[in-house]
Each structure stands twice: as structure tokens, then as C-alpha cells.
Structure 1
Amino acid sequence: MALRNALMAALLEGEASGYDLAKGFDASVANFWMATPQQLYRELERMEADGLIAARVIHQEKRPNKRLFSLTEAGRAAVRAYTEELPSKPSTIRDELLVKVQSVDAGDAAAVRAAIAERMEWAAAKLARYERLQAKLLDGRTEEEHLAQAERIGPYLTLLRGMAFERENLSWGETALRVLDQRSVLQD
């Protein structure tokens, strides 16, 4: 999947500046696609040159002018075409932490344990952010009400996937730490 597809998906929410997209990217699509602000800005320039998005300039006093981007009809057509394509093969996990865990028997178990604990802290923090976003999206409604009434359900469905992913990271981390602790006791 190209970054441009993720950006077009984010722009379905409406007009946004590059700064807002970079900031919102972390909250809305970071659960399934990561990119640096520099990558986002470069891709926005290419998308504008390709006619997928249009930018309008907001003149500001005492601050640099702001460019707001929105999807063009060509961009909306590209989103439709993209959603019609068969997905490529499922993504695979490439995670340095798992290589360290795979090597724990010949390595430094305490360092691996610390790395797992740190990953769990990250997962807990991301899950907390996602739960805050979920509460904001629901805005006092039940999940069923939101899914029946919301103008767009894609952001909520991907949020649910991100939450499930982080919960699984926490569950796996708890299991891994428990096993490493038990092995440590047995070896002492």
C-alpha cells in the first residue's frame, strides 16, 4: 500500500493542512500505517502535482501561510479504484524485538525482558490514546448507535483493529515475561 492511499483515506475526513495531517495521522491511521512528517509533505506535493488533491492558501498574520489540502474528484476516483483492487498478500511481521526474543536462550535474558517491558509500556500508551479517540468518536453513543449513525465507519473499524493489536501486544508481553521469570527461577 502506498502512503498516498493512506493520505487519501485521511483526507476523506475533510480539508486539512499538512501539519494537521501529520498530527492527525498519528491519531487516526498510525494504528495501521506509519510515516514521518517529511514523508507526508513530500507525498502531498506529489499528489497535488498528480491532481489527486488541491491546496488552498490561508493567509495568516504573524505566522506562515497555511495550505489546506482536499481531495479532488480525481482523488476520490483514485480512492474508489484503490478500494476495488484485491489486497496484496497479508503483511508479515518484521520486528526486531521478536528476533531478540528468538535469541533469548543464547543472549541476555534481562535485556530481552526489559525490551519486552518497554514494548508493553508503548502498547499501553497507544491503547490509552486509542481509547480516548474511541470515546471522542462515540461522543456518548453506544458503539451500535455510532456504527448505525456515523457518516463514515472506516475510521472506527480501523481504530478497533489498532486497539485489538495493542491488547494482543500486552497479552503476549505478559505471557513472555511470565515465562522468562519462571525460567529464571528454575535456573537459579
Structure 2
Amino acid sequence: MALRNALMAALLQGEASGYDLAKEFDASVANFWTASPQQLYRELERMEGDGLISARVVEQERRPNKRLFSLTEAGREAVRAYVAEPPSKPTAIRDELMVKVQCADVGDIDAVRAAVAGSMEWARAKLDRYERLRQRLLAGRTEDAYFAEAERVGPYLTLVRGMAFERENLQWGELALRRLEQRAASRRT
């Protein structure tokens, strides 16, 4: 999947500045796609050049002028075409932590345990952010009411998937810490 597809997905919410998109990207799309602000801005420029988005300048008094981006009809058509394509292949995990865990038996088990614990802290923080976003999306409604009333359900469904992923990371982390501690204890005796 190209960054441009993720940006077009974010722009389905409506017009946004590059700064707003970076914040939105970090808050919602980041549960399934990551990119630096520099990558986002470069891709926005390319997308504008390709006619997928348009930009308008908003003059501001005490701040630099900002550009607001929105999908063009060509951009919406590109989203429709992208959605119609079958996924290229299932997601593959590419995680440096897994390489460290794979090497735990010949390396410093305490360092690997610290890395797992750090990963769990990160997962907890992401879950907290995702839960706050979920509450904002629901706006006091039940899930059933949200799905019946919301204009778009994709952001909520991807958010729930991101939450499940982080919960699974925590569950795996607890197992890994327990087993690594057992291995370290057996080495000490």
C-alpha cells in the first residue's frame, strides 16, 4: 500500500492542512500505517501534482499562511479504484523486537526483557490514546448506535483493529516476560 492511499483515506474526513493531517495520521491512521511529517508533505505535493488533491491557501495574521488540502473528484475515483483492488498479500510482521527475542538464548536475557517491557509500555500508551479516540468517535453512543448513525464506519473499524493488535502485544509481552524470567532463573541455578 502506498502512503498516498493512506493519505487519501485520511482526507475522506474532509479538508485538512498538512499539520492537521500529520496529527490525524498519528492519532488514527497510525494504528495501521506510519509516516514522518516530511514524508506526508512530500507525498501531498506529489498528489497535488497528480491532480488527486487540491490545495487552497488560508491567510493567517499571526502565523504563517496554511494550505488546506482536499480530495478532488480524481482523488475520490482513485480511492474507489484502490478499494476495488484485492490486497496484494497478507500483512507480514517485520519487528526488530522479534529478532532480539529470537536471539535471547545467546544474548543478554535481561536486555531482551527490558526491550519487551519497553514495548509493552508503548502498547499501553497507544491503547490509552486509541481509547480516547474511540470515546470521541462514539460521542456517548453505543457501538450499535454509532454504526447506525455514523457517516463513515471505516475509521472506527480500523481503530478497533489497532486496539486489538495492542492488546495482543500486551498479552504476548506478559507471556514473553514470564518465560524469559524462567529461563534467566534456570541459568542462575
Please give the range of the TM-score, normalised by the shorter of the 2 chains.
Answer: over 0.9
Matched, 1:27 2:27: yes
SS of 2:97's equivalent in the other structure is helix
> How far apart, in 2, do the equivalents of 1:147 and 1:9 lie?
19
Letter in 2 for 1:36: S
SS of 2:75's equivalent in the other structure is helix
Gaps of 5+ in 2: none
**Where does residue 44 of structure 1 map in the other structure?**
44
SS of 2:86's equivalent in the other structure is coil
Cα-to-partner distance string for 1:23-48 (whole Å, 9 max, x where unaligned)? 11000100000000000000000000
**Where does residue 13 of structure 1 map in the other structure?**
13
Following TM superposition, by how much is the alpha carbon of 1:62 offset from its aligned partner in structure 2, in angstroms? Answer: 2.2
Letter in 2 for 1:185: A
Aligned length: 188
* Deviating 4+ runs (over 4 angstroms): none
**Where does residue 100 of structure 1 map in the other structure?**
100
Letter in 1 for 2:164: A
Cα-to-partner distance string for 1:108-138 (whole Å, 9 max, x where unaligned)? 0000000000000000000000000000000
SS of 1:68's equivalent in the other structure is strand
> How far apart, in 1, do the equivalents of 2:13 and 2:87 lie?
23
Q: Percent identity?
A: 76
SS of 2:30's equivalent in the other structure is coil
Q: How does 1:159-170 map to 2 (within 5 A)?
A: 159-170=159-170
Cα-to-partner distance string for 1:54-82 (whole Å, 9 max, x where unaligned)? 00110111211010000000000000000
Following TM superposition, by how much is the alpha carbon of 1:144 offset from its aligned partner in structure 2, in angstroms? Answer: 1.0
SS of 1:151's equivalent in the other structure is coil
Q: How does 1:167-182 map to 2 (within 5 A)?
A: 167-182=167-182
SS of 2:68's equivalent in the other structure is strand
SS of 1:92's equivalent in the other structure is coil
> How far apart, in 2, do the equivalents of 1:124 and 1:139 lie?
22
Gaps of 5+ in 1: none
SS of 1:19's equivalent in the other structure is helix
Following TM superposition, by how much is the alpha carbon of 1:181 offset from its aligned partner in structure 2, in angstroms? Answer: 1.3
SS of 2:35's equivalent in the other structure is coil
**Where does residue 86 of structure 1 map in the other structure?**
86
**Where does residue 121 of structure 1 map in the other structure?**
121
**Where does residue 56 of structure 2 map in the other structure?**
56
Following TM superposition, by how much is the alpha carbon of 1:187 offset from its aligned partner in structure 2, in angstroms? Answer: 2.7
Letter in 1 for 2:71: L
> How far apart, in 2, do the equivalents of 1:135 and 1:63 lie?
32
> How far apart, in 2, do the equivalents of 1:144 and 1:182 lie?
44
SS of 1:106's equivalent in the other structure is coil
SS of 2:31's equivalent in the other structure is coil
> How far apart, in 1, do the equivalents of 2:76 and 2:35 lie?
22
